[in-house]
Structure 1
């Protein structure tokens, strides 16, 4: 008989068949490793025998979070197909570009996206649509699994084969499909699993979208690699997250979110009474986390372990352990075990320790490139070094500090200004519930700061209050010139503030000054 490699689900199904691997919180479905493996085998056989999917073919998925997503990715691994999760927040026009680019053989979709997928099938020529509800029941997806034998022809894959393609948000241009290999998934599990204390007893809650690396790989895929259990939440609910964390019978050990998730949880009425003591690790990433927010959780005895990564890096590049989280608030931790990093200037020359530059990364955890985009590969990869686009510095002890997005930085009177630093300062104001700093045009200084503020419920605040608060805490060139109040900030599916949208909404403030 042949021995299969890189089939994590199949491996654990053979060893711990009766252990729970996936729990779908929306539909209350639970699957043991044996049950999940059987369903994935049957789905793989259907894709192969009834849909003509071969090794390297793409299987698109347009669906809300559910265990179906993890099941589909596992099925792809068995036959060497490429898992293509799609952002359900995109318009048909945006999805059409991705579908045309990736050319999936099959598009599996939630019932609620049936009309959009029918339009995409016509526009982009997707050969086959397969409908699911994400909740079981009487659907074509469930019928396909039920009617198929668990006997696909397994494909031989290596660490260099592509398992998943995830398209970037496209905030700086057309979306690009970052190819993620089996090797990247393996090294991410190793790089992330050790400092975040993963074991086969781990039980993690997935709240971020599974079409994003934060949802898929922090910590869903890591828990699968270690043989743990994954609870999948359809959409983020701060109160429900707190309830699950507090439930001793559930026994959650791992949680990951972006700063916005932790912010909204801290503002929920149940936050004060939630017991976080059973969490072995609570990770945070996706954007620099304001130190006041870290301190809020520290007061509850919880270390928010920051890390740094991106879709193209699987995603872990740097990560904190719990001790670092308490002793180095604001850092992104130290370099992961299987990763390399440089901090360079605009000419690609290494800067001295302690100075800010652009972070470049390299290693087996880094994407081999973008799908069908040789020009993008040439622009962003130099001799194997991926240009992250993030401004960063590293201290003498090897702790990395991600200052901000390189492109979010603005220059005021010749001085580099990093919005994250100002945001961290202003978040100390209890009147502020949410906030973003952006650079806007200015006749005298080229650019100046604009604070876009959401006032906390029951509080009041003026623009003068905000500026006065900064006076003795920030250099003059860092103090925002403008303060604008909004009811909420535009965010993407993972909670990141869409600063380009804010800039478009606000326009040129010189005209109204």
Structure 2
């Protein structure tokens, strides 16, 4: 029998109506659980009655971080509509594909992205458009509506959200997110992240991404805590807010680059992290030297692993193990199963590399309009993650790298994340990425692309010497390129397809002897 979905904003309104649920830092607005419940309820009425949004229809949002995005999410849930957050960094042609594929009936946008949103809405024949902000149709619609009289009956198996993956290879795929996936993620992360009604979270990752929406924004709201939303990440402002006792921030989450930028800011040395109970990190392999930098400031970063398709939590490292198991993603969360699988489909031994497969109520049922991707991505209900993983003798898991980022040099597998961690040991390195490039002699060799910290200098010879002292010869990059900054996607991850396109061939003068 299907299990019904329950709205946790309405629940917390009944229990703690006046407690602050959301703070929009850019506009200075704050909303209690009662106010958030009212706004989501009236927005739901407006979408259903005025804009004729029916159960199962998609509602798109193209906006920089704002509390309004969360109102749209809960309004959609209440009428059985499907929330469609859109990547704010994509171009009109890229969004044309996604919006054409998902076919939303409403496009909600902010002023900063109005030109793009309107162009895409026109190309895709979106029936209705709503503008956020003072004087916009969004606020007018809420003001004119009455609270929703009755929530649509939805179950944990029903679709709540479609999130499109970054599309690093081919066209992006729309991962189907069910109500149950979001709920189980709240349960799975709640314990390890120490989330409770007293949690105060600063959200800096984009809300169109599962990291911003679910690490830990939805879990904190599910618990009845408070979420502060930063419109665009700024390392100095993040450090200031975390240091301010009046804000009371005790929970934080970022991808490695977020922590890197904060640690490189001059205010890092004087920031007050004493109230921070949890500093979560995920989204990409975390360089151990960066973990040590934060550990020296008294913050044991809690590593984890997840994907859009897994809602996202799969593994979390407990705070008590953060230092002694630095580099590990921890152990599986409560309501999920994992396997490390050899290419022949058998389970890998302890210490042996294989592909991580996952299964459980937090896993996507599939991709929107992509039966081909569904067939290729699942085996007997197990999702193939594409991540090269090993488990140590204590049962801790290590995400070594993406299978597709691995390259083979002289018959040896090289995982760039391992090499990048060694490069980050050099004090002058601000950013580092390693890719495989063609080699007549070895098949492929490594290229290190380095951005140097301002005020520092670094020569290719120093990098070669450091790698030769710390890595097996076949792992050492043969080529070094220096750049001002590395290309990143919207969540701050280094975008290796761009690097591969840019650096397809080595420069002979840079090749190590």
* TM-score of the two chains, using structure 2 as the length reference: 0.97
Matched, 1:401 2:398: yes
Name 2:381's counterpart in structure 1. 384
Name 2:77's counterpart in structure 1. 77
Given that residues 391 and 406 in structure 1 are in contact (C-alpha distance below 8 angstroms), is that contact kept between their aligned partners in structure 2?
yes
Given that residues 5 and 180 in structure 2 are in contact (C-alpha distance below 8 angstroms), is that contact kept between their aligned partners in structure 1?
no
CA distance in 1, matches of 2:410, 2:429: 28
The CA deviation string for residues 164-184 of structure 1, in whole angstroms up to 9 with x for no partner, is: 110001111111110111111
Gapped runs of 5+ residues in structure 1? none
Given that residues 5 and 156 in structure 2 are in contact (C-alpha distance below 8 angstroms), is that contact kept between their aligned partners in structure 1?
no
CA distance in 1, matches of 2:45, 2:316: 39
Name 1:26's counterpart in structure 2. 26
**Residue correspondence of structure 1 range 487-502 to structure 2 within 5 A:** 487-502=484-499
**Residue correspondence of structure 1 range 438-477 to structure 2 within 5 A:** 438-477=435-474
**Residue correspondence of structure 1 range 46-125 to structure 2 within 5 A:** 46-125=46-125
Given that residues 79 and 152 in structure 1 are in contact (C-alpha distance below 8 angstroms), is that contact kept between their aligned partners in structure 2?
no
CA distance in 2, matches of 1:493, 1:474: 32
**Residue correspondence of structure 1 range 342-357 to structure 2 within 5 A:** 342-357=339-354
Given that residues 45 and 153 in structure 1 are in contact (C-alpha distance below 8 angstroms), is that contact kept between their aligned partners in structure 2?
no
**Residue correspondence of structure 1 range 216-295 to structure 2 within 5 A:** 216-295=213-292
User: What's the offset of the Cα at 1:121?
Assistant: 2.3
Given that residues 42 and 152 in structure 1 are in contact (C-alpha distance below 8 angstroms), is that contact kept between their aligned partners in structure 2?
no
Secondary structure at the counterpart of residue 445 of structure 2: strand
CA distance in 1, matches of 2:112, 2:266: 32
Given that residues 423 and 467 in structure 2 are in contact (C-alpha distance below 8 angstroms), is that contact kept between their aligned partners in structure 1?
yes
User: What's the offset of the Cα at 1:111?
Assistant: 1.8
Gapped runs of 5+ residues in structure 2? none
User: What's the offset of the Cα at 1:398?
Assistant: 1.3
Matched, 1:188 2:188: no
Secondary structure at the counterpart of residue 327 of structure 1: coil
Secondary structure at the counterpart of residue 322 of structure 2: helix
Name 1:315's counterpart in structure 2. 312
The CA deviation string for residues 123-174 of structure 1, in whole angstroms up to 9 with x for no partner, is: 11111111113xxx21111000000011254101111011111000111111
Given that residues 290 and 427 in structure 1 are in contact (C-alpha distance below 8 angstroms), is that contact kept between their aligned partners in structure 2?
yes
Which of residues 143, 157, 174 is equivalent to 1:177? 174
With over 3 angstroms needed to count, the CA separation of the structure-2 counterparts of 1:5 and 1:187, relative to structure 1, is closer
User: What's the offset of the Cα at 1:511?
Assistant: 6.9
User: What's the offset of the Cα at 1:5?
Assistant: 4.0
Name 1:332's counterpart in structure 2. 329
CA distance in 2, matches of 1:358, 1:35: 46
* TM-score of the two chains, using structure 1 as the length reference: 0.97
Given that residues 242 and 249 in structure 2 are in contact (C-alpha distance below 8 angstroms), is that contact kept between their aligned partners in structure 1?
yes
CA RMSD of aligned residues (A): 1.2
Given that residues 4 and 156 in structure 2 are in contact (C-alpha distance below 8 angstroms), is that contact kept between their aligned partners in structure 1?
no
Given that residues 204 and 233 in structure 2 are in contact (C-alpha distance below 8 angstroms), is that contact kept between their aligned partners in structure 1?
yes
CA distance in 2, matches of 1:436, 1:181: 35
User: What's the offset of the Cα at 1:122?
Assistant: 2.3
CA distance in 2, matches of 1:434, 1:365: 33
CA distance in 2, matches of 1:6, 1:124: 33
CA distance in 1, matches of 2:357, 2:398: 14
Instruction: Give the count of matched residue pairs.
Output: 508
Given that residues 6 and 182 in structure 1 are in contact (C-alpha distance below 8 angstroms), is that contact kept between their aligned partners in structure 2?
no
Given that residues 166 and 179 in structure 1 are in contact (C-alpha distance below 8 angstroms), is that contact kept between their aligned partners in structure 2?
yes
Name 2:132's counterpart in structure 1. 132
CA distance in 1, matches of 2:433, 2:39: 44
CA distance in 2, matches of 1:183, 1:149: 28
CA distance in 2, matches of 1:159, 1:37: 20
Which of residues 208, 213, 216 is equivalent to 1:211? 208
Which of residues 418, 426, 435 is equivalent to 1:429? 426
User: What's the offset of the Cα at 1:118?
Assistant: 2.3
CA distance in 1, matches of 2:430, 2:507: 27
Secondary structure at the counterpart of residue 215 of structure 1: helix
CA distance in 2, matches of 1:274, 1:81: 43
Which deviates more from structure 2 when the two are superposed, residues 450-459 or residues 110-119? 110-119
CA distance in 2, matches of 1:147, 1:7: 23
User: What's the offset of the Cα at 1:510?
Assistant: 6.0
With over 3 angstroms needed to count, the CA separation of the structure-2 counterparts of 1:123 and 1:506, relative to structure 1, is same
Which of residues 357, 360, 368 is equivalent to 1:360? 357
